[in-house]
C-alpha cells in the first residue's frame, strides 16, 4: 500500500509509445488521478468478491482515473476511464501478490495480475490477458516525479514499448514537483 499512498494525487503524464512491428513511435499525454483505498472501502471489497477472493485477505487498493490523447488518435477515439485495484499479498511475502482489477488497461475485462515490489522500491506489475501479456514498472526518481515503462506482447510477436514521465500536480493544476523534479522531468522528455 505504501507505493499507492506515495502515488496519491493528480499526475501530468507524457508518453512515448514505440510500435515495434510498424517501426514507428507515437507521443501522447494524459492526466492520471490516484486515490489510495483502505481494505474496508466498499469498492475494494466489491473487487475481491468479483474475483472470488475473501475481502479479509486484502490490504487495500486504489481508485485510478485517467484521460489522455495520443498523436495518432482519430476524432472518435477516447483514452479515458477508471479502474479499482485490490492488493492481495502473498502470505509468506507481502512484497508480492495478486493485484485484482475490475478492468484491465489492455483489455476491458476483470483481470488478476501479479505485483512485486523490487529491492529499489519500484513496483512491477505483470498481467496475463487472453491475447497478450503486459509488464509495467513504476518508480520515483523524486517524490513528485514518477516514471513508468511498459511492454505489451501480443500473440504473433506484435509488441509495443512505452515510456512515461509523470509529474504530480498541486490543487491549482500546476506541477507541484518543485524545481529539482521539474528539471528532471524536462531532461527526461527532452524540453
CA distance linking residue 49 with residue 45, whole number of Å: 6
* Domain boundaries, given as residue ranges, for the chain: 2-186
pLDDT one-digit tens code per residue, 16-61: 888 777 778 788 888 999 999 999 999 999 999 999 999 999 999 9
Query: 189 pLDDT exceeds 60?
Result: no
The pTM for the full model equals 0.80
Q: Output the pLDDT for position 56.
A: 97
Place of cell 483481470: 111
CA distance 88 to 55: 9
pLDDT in tens, 132-157: 888 999 999 999 999 999 988 887 67
In this predicted structure, what is the pLDDT of residue 43?
96
CATH architecture, domain 2-186:
Beta Barrel (2.40)
CB-based contacts of 151: which residues, under 8 Å, 6+ apart? 134, 135, 159, 160, 161, 162
Pull the grid cell for residue 110: 476483470
**Ramachandran quadrant class, 15 (left: phi over 0; alpha: psi -120 to 50; beta: rest):** beta
CA distance 41 to 46: 9
Confidence tier at 191 by pLDDT (50, 70, 90)? very low
More confident residue, 125 or 80: 125
Please state, in angstroms and rounded to a whole number, the distance separating the CA atoms of residues 16 and 71. Answer: 10
Q: Are 51 and 100 in contact (CB under 8 A)?
A: yes
- Residues of the chain with pLDDT > 90, as a percent, come to 53
For residue 133, count CB atoms less than 10 angstroms from its CB and return exposed for 0-12, middle for 13-18, buried for 19 or more: middle
Return left, alpha or beta for 105; rule: phi > 0 is left, psi -120 to 50 is alpha, else beta.
Answer: alpha
Sorted by sequence, the CB contacts under 8 Å of residue 174 that are 6+ apart come out as none
The pLDDT score that the predictor gives to residue 63 is 96
Phi, psi of 110 (to 5 degrees): -60, 140
Q: How far apart are CA 104 and CA 102, in angstroms?
A: 7
Amino acid at each position: 500500500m505504501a507505493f499507492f499512498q506515495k502515488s496519491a494525487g493528480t499526475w501530468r503524464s507524457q508518453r512515448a509509445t514505440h510500435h515495434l512491428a510498424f517501426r514507428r513511435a507515437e507521443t501522447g499525454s494524459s492526466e492520471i488521478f490516484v486515490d489510495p483505498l483502505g481494505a474496508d472501502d466498499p469498492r475494494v471489497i466489491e473487487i475481491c468478491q468479483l474475483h472470488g477472493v475473501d475481502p479479509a485477505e486484502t490490504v487495500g487498493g486504489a481508485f485510478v482515473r485517467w484521460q489522455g490523447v495520443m498523436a495518432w488518435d482519430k476524432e472518435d477515439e477516447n483514452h479515458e476511464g477508471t479502474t479499482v485495484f485490490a492488493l492481495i499479498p502473498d502470505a509468506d511475502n507481502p512484497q508480492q501478490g495478486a493485484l485484482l482489477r475490475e478492468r484491465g488497461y489492455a483489455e476491458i475485462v476483470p483481470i488478476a495480475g501479479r505485483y512485486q515490489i523490487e529491492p529499489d522500491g519500484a513496483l512491477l506489475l505483470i498481467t496475463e490477458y487472453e491475447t497478450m501479456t503486459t509488464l509495467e514498472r513504476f518508480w520515483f526518481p523524486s517524490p513528485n516525479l514518477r516514471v513508468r515503462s511498459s511492454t505489451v506482447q501480443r500473440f504473433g510477436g506484435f509488441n509495443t514499448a512505452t515510456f512515461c514521465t509523470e509529474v504530480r500536480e498541486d490543487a491549482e493544476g500546476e506541477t507541484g514537483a518543485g524545481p529539482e523534479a521539474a528539471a528532471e522531468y524536462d531532461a527526461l522528455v527532452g524540453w
